[in-house]
Structures are given as C-alpha cells and as structure tokens.
Homo-oligomer: A and B are copies of this chain.
Amino acid sequence: MPHQTGAENVHAIQYHQHTLILLDQRKLPHEETYLHFKNASGIATAITDMVVRGAPAIGISAAFGIALEARLQINLPALNLRDAFTVLAASRPTAVNLFWALKKMKEAMNDCASLNMSEQVAFLEETAHTILNDDIKNNHIMGDLGASLIDSGSQVYTHCNAGALATGGYGTALGVIRSAHAQKKITHVYAGETRPWLQGARLTAWELMADNIPVTLSCEGAAGQLLRQGSVKWIIVGADRVSSNGDVANKIGTYNLAVLAKYHDVKVMVVAPSSTFDLSIESGDLIPIEARDEHEVTHIQGIQMAPKACPAINPSFDITPRELIAAIVCEQGIILEPNKEKIMAMLGNTEKESR
C-alpha cells in the first residue's frame, strides 16, 4: 500500500474491532506484516522486541494496551489494570512518551470511575484514540513550524526513523522534512543508516522513497565528510526524552552528529511533541539510557559478524546537550537555543494542568 499511496499516511498503529494491529517494523522494508494484539502483555513484548518503535508510537501502543486490557475485564465487577500498567511501563526505559501515555490512561481511568464497566472501557478506548489522533495532528503542526526554519534549496540529514512509522502518522523529524519538501525548501535528504538496528536504511529510506522525496543512504562514518562538503544545512531528528533544560535523549549516534554539526556550522533541529518533554528531570545525564542486547551489534539479521563471544556495547540512546541544539520544535511552538527558562515558559503550565 504505502508504495502506491505514499508513506506519509501509513498507519503503523491501527485499532479495529478491539484489536491493536501493528505493522511489524522488524520485517520492513521487504515485508509488510501486520501483527494483532488483544492484551497489554502482548503489546509490552511487541514494544520490547521493537515490532513497534519510536517514542510517540510506543506511547500510543501502550495506551491501547491499557484499553485492551480493560476490555478483557468488561464482565468483571471492576477494572484492575495494575499489572497492565506495570508490564507496559517496564517495556522500554528511555522514551518518556510511554510513561506520559500511561499517565494519561490512568487519569482517564480515574475520570471515568463512576461510569458502568462498558462505559469505562469505551472511555479508555476513546482516550487512546485521542492520544493517537492528537499525535498525528501535532505532527502536522510541527511539520509546518519546522519547515519555517529551513531556507529554500536546503539539503538535510536525518538519523534513525522519526517518521510515520515512529508516530501515529506523518512523523516528527520526517514530518518537518515532508512539509519542507512540499514547500520546495528541501531538495535532498541524507538518511543515516543507524546501526545497529538500521532504522535509517530500513524505515526512513522506505518512507521517503514511497513519498518520492529524494533520499540517499549514508553510513554513520560518512557523516563528517558529508557535512564538510557544505551542502547539508540541517540535521533533523526526533527525540525520546527532553529534560527540562533542553538536553535531548535520542537514538545512539545523535550526539556524534550534533558534535559534527557544531564543527561544521550545521544546525541541529529536534522535533518532539510536548509528550516527549520530561520536566521532572533537570538534565540529560539523569535520563535512563537503555542498554540493549550485544547481539544486535555482533549479529545482523541473525548472521554473526563479530567473532564468537566478542563483547560489544549497545546503548540504544545518547544524550545531546542543549548547547548543540539550534531549535526544538514542539506543537506549541519553536524553542530556539533551548534552555530551562524557555522550556518552562512554553510547557510549564501544560505540565501543571496535566498533574
């Protein structure tokens, strides 16, 4: 489908007939396989195993996980979702959107506690749908905001996949790229392949090719030489968590790019909805960084590359300090040269409201 209609509106997360349907992102770009989920623990495993990945997409999936678990209890006297919340919260540690979405679902649960069971379940399903739909809406808003920063005729570089596949649809970083390309501001996109999981090669290239946005793949090692050539004007990435001072946790390799960008006077744009901000954390160094299995580095598609028993580090994310970031684009506005004051001014009230 995406290859006929474009990937802009690909829906990696669908909810039909009380079933969460996830596009299995481990099989892309060669196979479009959809997996069906009916309960929270199945969705938690899907998140851990990266059937679905990307900070907003993880949050949305977890929200539906709570709704599904509620539906399984529709004939019981009362909802007991404690285990569902626990298993989903333990699925991955870094992306705060997961915890944000679970908090939203808990609030919804409290809000509807006086309704009958059937109404409660319907309310939780509606809340999950709202999280999904708001995410898509916000991505379009951020797309336009981010595009407003980009000069005509620019080449840009993106890392990992912050696209339709990583969100409810349209994408964060790729949302900006889509909007700016539609406005003829972006002429070419370089996609870092993003070892070890190759999100760039497998997912971002797939999305951009399907949308006829010119894309060229690059190994991470070639980024410095590419930036040195001078055509790339922006590094555009998503985020998994933004601390209150503006430090950004994102896919491993983002920090490299930010340092390279600084050295070459290239600007870094982080595109992240307000659900990605964690105002309870003062700085990036306090964000928990997931260490994934060494086999993701030593093996590729099940084939062993490194010698047997070769140790490897596999941090899934790194921290880019705010000094290296030119702009954070959020659905509530653009934060240039982010710092705590600017972030609290824009998002401090939202946070309070939701508490």
A135 within 8 A of B: no
Whether A218 lies near B313 (C-beta < 8 A) is: yes
Note all chain B residues with C-beta closer than 8 A to A306: 29, 193, 201-202, 205, 217
Whether B201 lies near A259 (C-beta < 8 A) is: no
Q: Which of B215, B219, B226 contacts A311 (CB 8 A)?
A: B215
8 tightest Cβ-Cβ pairs between the two chains A and B: A221-B253, A217-B312, A224-B256, A225-B318, A220-B220, A195-B219, A29-B307, A224-B255
Whether A307 lies near B220 (C-beta < 8 A) is: no
Q: Which of B252, B260, B311, B314 contacts A256 (CB 8 A)?
A: B260
Note all chain B residues with C-beta closer than 8 A to A220: 195, 219-221, 253, 256
Task: Tell me the residues in window 182-212 of chain A with beta carbons closer than 8 Å to chain B beta carbons.
Answer: 190, 192-196, 198, 201-202, 205-206, 209
Whether A195 lies near B224 (C-beta < 8 A) is: no
Count contacts on A: residues with CB < 8 A to the other chain. Answer: 54
Note all chain B residues with C-beta closer than 8 A to A315: 222, 225
A311 to B202: give the CA distance in the assembly, Å.
13
Return A202 CB to nearest CB of chain B, in Å.
6
Residue in A215, A222, A309, A310 whose Cβ sees the most chain B Cβ within 10 Å: A222
Whether B225 lies near A319 (C-beta < 8 A) is: yes
A298 within 8 A of B: yes
Whether B222 lies near A298 (C-beta < 8 A) is: no
Q: Residue-by-residue, is A236-258 near B (CB-CB < 8 Å gives 1, otherwise 0)?
A: 00000000000000011101100
Return A51 CB to nearest CB of chain B, in Å.
18
A315 to B221: give the CA distance in the assembly, Å.
10
A303 within 8 A of B: yes
A225 to B255: give the CA distance in the assembly, Å.
7
A311 to B190: give the CA distance in the assembly, Å.
10
Q: Residue-by-residue, is A251-276 near B (CB-CB < 8 Å gives 1, otherwise 0)?
A: 11101100110110000000000000
A30 within 8 A of B: yes
Interface pairs (12), CB distance under 8 Å: A201-B305, A205-B307, A209-B309, A215-B310, A215-B311, A217-B312, A218-B312, A219-B252, A219-B314, A224-B259, A225-B318, A259-B260
A228 within 8 A of B: yes
A223 within 8 A of B: yes
A90 within 8 A of B: no
A86 within 8 A of B: no
